[in-house]
Amino acid sequence: MLDPGYGYVRISQFQSRTGDNLREALEKLEEKSDGPLKGLVLDLRNNPGGVLSAAVSVSDAFLKDGIIVYTEGRLDDAKLKFNAKPTDILHGAPLVVLVNGGSASASEIVAGALQDHQRAIIMGKKTFGKGSVQTILPMDNGSALKLTTAKYYTPSGTSIQATGIAPDIELENLKIAESDGAASKRLKEADLARHLEGDGERKQGDAKAADKTKDGGADKSTPLAKRDYAIYEALNLLKGLAILQKHSS
């Protein structure tokens, strides 16, 4: 969980059970959230791809209908089309997908499908551009010949090959750094000596002291959204989309 109600899932590569693993991970996040998520960050950065069926399964998890991906080749058996089933496991909650130049093949299929169906905001850098289909032919001498037999196309008919997926929001490769706050800190009522305590202020102070004692005086590790600039921006965008969705409903 990045924040109460906001989840994060990273897929490092697409294997046969990736779709099932994603659904299991989201169920656990919903348990931690005590209900449906307000939004999700799906991290596909530096994911080189993998099994096509896994990319279809992951895309299908968030789409209710329409084409996920299709292939075109010289021969009829190279022409395939994959459609979504009417189930969105996020129940329409906002989705942000993080990509970069290391996102390739199956990652681009997922990003392209969710982008074309306007189901997710794609954020980061343009993807690798690996949109070709290879067929492996076994040879009599025990070796094999790998041929490029088709190309992947997004639902809108855009070829992924050599072009990649352009993000809706491009991010620079920045790092988050904590400010010491010395120049911008403003004096507040709570900073004044012998100020009148507000309701719950004493309880809050006692709770912090108890946590510090329990943890042996050590600070907890820095949250992921404060260590990774892209995740930080994605979380802020999710919060804005969730607010907008709530106001429009």
Catalytically active residues, by annotation: 105, 116, 130
Nearest in space to 165 (alpha carbons), one of 207, 129, 205, 201: 129
Residues whose CB falls within 8 Å of the CB of residue 17, separated by 6 or more in sequence, listed in order: 54
Q: How far apart are CA 235 and CA 96, in angstroms?
A: 8
CB 249 within 8 A of CB 17: no
What token pair was written down for 188?
Answer: 């507040």
CB 155 within 8 A of CB 69: yes
Q: How far apart are CA 188 and CA 191, in angstroms?
A: 5
Amino acid making up residue 93? A
